[in-house]
Amino acid sequence: MASRPDTDNFLSLFLNDTPLMDVRAPVEFTKGSFPGAENAPLMNDEERHRVGICYKEKGQDEAIRLGHQLVSGDIKAQRIEAWKRFVASHPEGYLFCFRGGLRSRLTQQWIRDAGIDYPLIKGGYKALRRFLIDSLDNLIESSEFRIISGRTGTGKTRVLQHLPNPVDLEGLANHRGSSFGRQVTPQPSQIDFENRLAVAMLKAHHLKGGPIYLEDESRLVGRCAIPDALRNQIAHAPLLIVEQTLEERTRIIREDYVEKMLADYAKRDGEAAGWLNFRDYLLGALDRISKRLGGERHNQLRNSMSQALEQQERSGDVHGHDAWFQSLLQDYYDPMYDYQLSQKQGEILVRGGPDTVIDWARNNTSA
């Protein structure tokens, strides 16, 4: 393998989805890393903890000595093999630790001793994270945004995917943004969400250009918080409003929240356990908004949902859910959306069905 230099070209790394080998401990990786990064640690959590204590009590030299004692023999050989597998799969990648210091350089040296030159990222995680924070702040301030709005069930996310320069906040957060929005797989950490958002914004700016389309979201998408500066932009940006009939909205909700979710749970957990977990997901989502619904309305909707679930389990017919969908839309979500729309300060650029909104966006690509 030809030798490649270490790099601090952070923009190129993210625009090109460069594979990244994160040699920090698993606990650090879990708190936040970057799109395309894989964790192949030099030290596990316990080893890192012990070395950290030694560093504080006895200094750097003793900490390094302890680290070499802890990561030696078969343990060292296993970690080098993991790094070699990553390098073989991703010859165009780079490695990094927290600051681009001891851990990444030691990893680089051990890989070199095994006959492979592999470059590192100068400044490590800390420099990459700082670059993304600064880039996101600048892009939020300087970009033009257009907001896809519409009542619940109009298929806003589906429309967004067909627009010229979309950034999918719900996709980045792995959550559909409502009480029923949880996905089968977990959400990213807040740091991971912010990093994903920054990378998506960099790509929108550098690879596509023009106005950036976002779906109208509240402050939280599940547990992921949208930066305040971006929320302010969303509140004031011009709107494209997607409109659908109640029947079509019901069909979309049935597909997304019943058919797809059951399939996802069954794929993850098996048919029997998947059904039980899907049932708990629907009932739990309704229960989370019980106070806002009020006791009587919550009980009515829960009874209707329970009957629909019994019918679905018995016969496979999912249309029994339509009654509680429509009641929840008309009595809860629609009034809430109509009020929120009345508070918007952005100009309405177009309103209509999905094709109308998509055609308008494609014909008005300049800022």
User: Active-site residues: which are they?
Assistant: 97
Give the other-Cβ count within 10 Å of 302's Cβ: 17
Task: Fill in the amino acid letter for 365.
Answer: T
User: Which residue from 23, 4, 157 is spatially nearest to 83, judged by alpha carbons?
Assistant: 23
92, 247, 302, 314, 328 from 323: Cα distances, Å: 54, 11, 11, 18, 9
User: Which residue from 281, 268, 252 is spatially nearest to 353, judged by alpha carbons?
Assistant: 252
Those residues whose C-beta lies under 8 Å from the C-beta of residue 42, and which sit 6 or more positions away, are 23, 24, 71, 79, 97, 103, 106, 107
Tokens 């969303």 belong to residue: 234
Q: Crossing angle of helices 73-89/102-113, nearest 10°?
A: 80
Tokens 């001793």 belong to residue: 113
Tokens 């890989």 belong to residue: 111
Contact 25, 45 (CB under 8 A): yes
DSSP state at residue 333:
I
Q: Phi-psi bin for 237: left (phi > 0), alpha (psi -120 to 50), beta?
A: beta
CA distance 358 to 162: 7
Task: Fill in the amino acid letter for 206.
Answer: H
